[in-house]
């Protein structure tokens, strides 16, 4: 439904995105993840027909973003990094205005606004002036304007940035509800947000795609080693040395008190061996368990350590 091919954007001499190719299916919730300047907003601006690409194509439900931008604007709702609000208008007046400029008939405007006010839980603030609302409520108004024409696709650029933790939870809940009936592209720096809301992630780095995968797939494909955590009751000066004596053990790092983080080759299955060793040496096992690689590990690996792992 969204098909991006070799998308490139230059701002003068600066190349913001380079040769991006990816697809997004109907109903998917996809996260754009990447550090500052990675090209997330630029890509979203092109998909929303705010900016033209320098080269490459983006086809959305059969329409080209460059050739048929009016068609695309009907099926896309966009919440940019800074919501396009008129601060001195009331919430309801602003949304009526947003509905009108979307080409909704006078008759249809009221019901469209009622619908988004209900969806975004804005009922209690409908008559309030936007600039006097909290940032979280202003963000809801931004979301409401993006949805006023009932688009199939929502593009949300860092929708929780600058909000306090309670507001973040509320906006995330709202996005999760919207995910049931929309295709959503969401950008974020916040890794747990992506893991909570998105099924698939596109990691951008310096304008290029570092990885496209499901969260599980991404973590699994990058795992070249596995880690075990061993916690014992009786500290022993030669535990590290004994654990290191296995050929498949790559490193042993001391963790919290009497805990050892053992990095092993993949599929080493050393739990039983470690248990036997602990018994023989009377270390007293408190816990032995595998440590899953977090998305944060993967993100850092892709954007800092090994940005060429997956092209
Ligand atoms: N209007 C512009 N003129 C010149 N360069 C720009 C412009 N907008 C963005 N850039 C540059 O393009 C690159 C990508 O920027 P973009 O805003 O798309 O990144 P981003 O991933 O959204 O970053 P952030 O996380 O900071 O929002 C950056 O190097 C940025 O400086
Ligand atoms: Mg941005």
Burial of 292 (0-12, 13-18, 19+ CB in 10 A): exposed
Q: How many residues are recorded in the chain? A: 311
Whether ligand 1 lies within 6 angstroms of the CB of 34 is answered as yes
SS3 28: coil
Query: What pLDDT was estimated at residue 308?
Result: 42
pLDDT for residue 311: 35
Separation between Cα atoms, residue 90 and residue 79, nearest integer Å: 19
**Is the sign of the CA dihedral 37, 222, 186, 74 positive or negative?**
positive
The list of the chain residues with pLDDT below 50 reads 306-311
Q: How many CA atoms does the CB half-sphere of 187 hold within 13 Å?
A: 23
Which of 7, 9, 14 has most ligand 1 atoms within 8 Å of CB, for mutation? 14
Q: Whose CA is nearest to atom 24 of ligand 1?
A: 36
What 3-state class would DSSP assign to 270? coil
How many A from CA of 41 to the centre of ligand 1? 7
Q: How far is the CA of 38 from the centre of ligand 2 (A)?
A: 8
**45: Cβ below 6 Å to ligand 1?**
no
Q: Which atom of ligand 1 sits closest to the CA of residue 38?
A: 21
Q: Which atom of ligand 1 is nearest to the CA of 17?
A: 14
What domains lie within the chain, and their CATH numbers? 2-86+144-220 (3.40.50.300), 225-292 (3.30.70.2070)
Q: Is ligand 1 within 6 A of the CB of residue 31? A: no
Which numbered atom of ligand 1 lies nearest the CA of 81?
27
The pLDDT of residue 304: 63
Per-residue model confidence as pLDDT tens digits over 213-272: 887 787 776 667 788 999 999 877 889 999 999 999 999 988 888 899 998 888 888 999
Q: Which ligand is nearest to the CA of 17?
A: 1
Residue among 158, 127, 128, 164 nearest 143 (CA): 158
């Amino acid at each position: 439904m969204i098909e991006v091919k070799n998308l490139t954007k230059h701002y003068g001499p600066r190349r913001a995105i380079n040769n991006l190719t990816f697809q997004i299916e109907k109903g998917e919730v996809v996260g754009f993840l990447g550090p500052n300047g990675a090209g997330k907003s630029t890509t979203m601006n092109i998909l929303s027909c705010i900016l033209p690409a320098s080269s490459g194509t983006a086809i959305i439900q059969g329409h080209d973003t460059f050739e048929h931008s009016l068609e695309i604007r009907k099926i896309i709702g966009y919440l940019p990094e800074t919501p396009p609000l008129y601060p001195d208008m009331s919430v309801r007046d602003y949304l009526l205005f947003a509905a009108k400029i979307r080409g909704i008939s006078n008759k249809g405007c009221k019901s469209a606004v009622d619908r988004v006010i209900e969806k975004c839980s804005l009922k209690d603030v409908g008559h309030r002036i936007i600039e006097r609302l909290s940032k979280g409520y202003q963000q809801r108004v931004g979301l409401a304007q993006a949805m006023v024409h009932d688009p199939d696709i929502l593009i949300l650029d860092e929708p929780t940035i600058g909000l306090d933790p309670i507001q973040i939870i509320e906006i995330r809940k709202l996005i999760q509800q919207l995910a049931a009936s929309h295709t959503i592209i969401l950008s974020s720096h916040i890794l747990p947000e992506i893991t909570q809301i998105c099924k698939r992630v596109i990691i951008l780095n310096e304008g290029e795609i570092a990885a496209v995968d499901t969260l599980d797939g991404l973590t699994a494909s990058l795992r070249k080693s596995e880690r075990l955590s061993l916690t014992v009751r009786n500290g022993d000066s030669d535990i590290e040395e004994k654990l290191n004596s296995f050929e498949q053990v790559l490193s042993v790092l001391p963790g919290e008190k009497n805990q050892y983080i053992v990095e092993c080759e993949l599929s080493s299955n050393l739990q039983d061996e470690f248990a036997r060793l602990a018994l023989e040496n009377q270390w007293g096992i408190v816990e032995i368990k595998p440590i899953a690689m977090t998305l944060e590990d993967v993100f850092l690996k892709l954007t800092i350590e090994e940005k060429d792992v997956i092209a």
